[in-house]
Amino acid sequence: MFKKVLIANRGEIAVRLIRACRELEIPTVAIYSEADRNSLHVRCADEAYCVGPPPSAQSYLVIDKILEVAEKTGTDAIHPGYGFLAENPEFAKLCKDHNITFVGPSAEAIEMMGHKTVARKTMQNVGVPVVPGTETVDDDDVLASRAKEMSFPVMIKAVAGGGGKGMRIVREEKEIKEAIRAARSEAKSSFGDDTVYVEKYLEEPRHIEFQILADRHGNVIHLLERECSIQRRHQKVIEEAPSMALDDDLREKMGKAAVDAAKAARYWSAGTVEFLVDREKNYYFLEMNTRLQVEHPVTEMITGIDIAKEMFKIAAGEKLSISQEDVKMNGWAMECRIYAEDPFNNFLPSPGKILTLREPSGPGVRDDSGVFAGYEVPLHYDPMISKLCTWGGTRTESIQRMKRALGEYVIKGIKTTIPFHQRVMNNEKFLAGNIHTGFIEDECIMETSDDSEDLMNVALVAAALHLQRKSREGVGTAGPEKTGTDAWKMMGRRSRWVT
């Protein structure tokens, strides 16, 4: 196993990975921006080093600084978490060049599956169904013509996309040109690549993904499915495992397709193969995420397999200790992503200090959190502050426990999306499992508008004032911190799920 691991991330996922390393008895190194000096992941790691100013482009995304810290601390492995550099093939290559193990797949696999049209072609070659679509086309007029040939609705998608960025639904011919322009612009700003393609848009599909584990010795298994259909602006907000839409036969077919996809990519590490399932139960490959997923806890809860620790073992060259026959489904798990956003005000960001924090606990409850009372939620990063998960013997019990846990969760000083999740958990169609990717809009959850320019202007002014105040207060000096032991005492009793 490794001598020391650097966690190239922040927030709850950094804390999660530090926990896994502690159980494996591996010392950890955290990195942080000036805005994150007092963050929980900094306090939890054995060592922590500042890598730059608050903007991620000047800190968490600066590969040279991260590798410099790794070499200075004698780190022999780096785990990227998710987001930031997790699916950056160049980062994986440079880690290898510096004789540092990248805890994830090969750079070649990341590159292959990160390019949407290449991934689609790879899946077609091994017989995995894909959503009908086009190759990449540079000329907007030609792309618009191809879109019209497919019949509406269609989806304009960025080839380097993810997280709902660079995507536009087109329902009428008159919308095509503007949708292509908008998708290209967003893709350029988000990924540095404005290449897009057209894909047939499936009406009311379910978004179902399969977690896979693969070692460096050619062994590949799946850890069953997750239902990720509850989305807002193409971003997952509630996930569960298993899915009500799958019977044993369909589960077996999709699981095999996921394994075939991983083998085609010569993949190792943890990864996720995502599918869309239409009303007739036809399934289509959507994409493969070559990293640890945000929603991995629900799979851990129904299988009893620690995916984070498995990633470290695979990266160290160990063979999988389990076979497909060892993977058993036990109960039902649910995850609600808790964001620092105001659900009553168009989900605008709500940075600020957490004045009071009381996390839920009790039977079947797990809260993967990156915050504490007194923590200042910064404006610079994704606003997710925790992932609240529940387990039950049945879906009904899991939902009931989630309702209880959401009611127990107290966060004062900032706005959060807890009220939004409470409304979903009480929605009749959700309770019946009658869901799809457009569920939130169709059910008018929170009844918000996506195009409120006035509210967005208010948010920008608030953000400017917040940053101005923080600038007057000053930021801490950079340098190493020895913090691990005190941090875990400070955290006190963290919620654990029990069966």
Active site residues: 291
- Residue 138 in contact with residue 207, Cβ under 8 Å? no
- Residue 214 in contact with residue 206, Cβ under 8 Å? no
* Secondary structure element (H or E) that encloses residue 167, with its range: strand 165-170
Distance CA 489, CA 485 (A): 7
Distance CA 356, CA 384 (A): 17
Report in angstroms the alpha-carbon separations of 187 from 84, 112, 163, 169, 180. 16, 18, 11, 15, 10
- Residue 45 in contact with residue 74, Cβ under 8 Å? no
Q: Which two tokens stand for residue 254?
A: 């999709």
The SS3 call for residue 465 is helix
What sign has the CA pseudo-torsion 381, 373, 426, 345? Answer: negative
- Residue 437 in contact with residue 229, Cβ under 8 Å? yes
CA 331 to chain centre: 23
* Secondary structure element (H or E) that encloses residue 48, with its range: strand 47-52
Distance CA 171, CA 169 (A): 7
Let me know how long the chain is.
499
Closest CA to 282 of 249, 250, 260: 250
Residue 101 β-bridge partners? 77
Q: Which residues touch 480 (CB under 8 Å, ≥6 apart)?
A: 47, 48, 49
Place of tokens 């169609």: 429
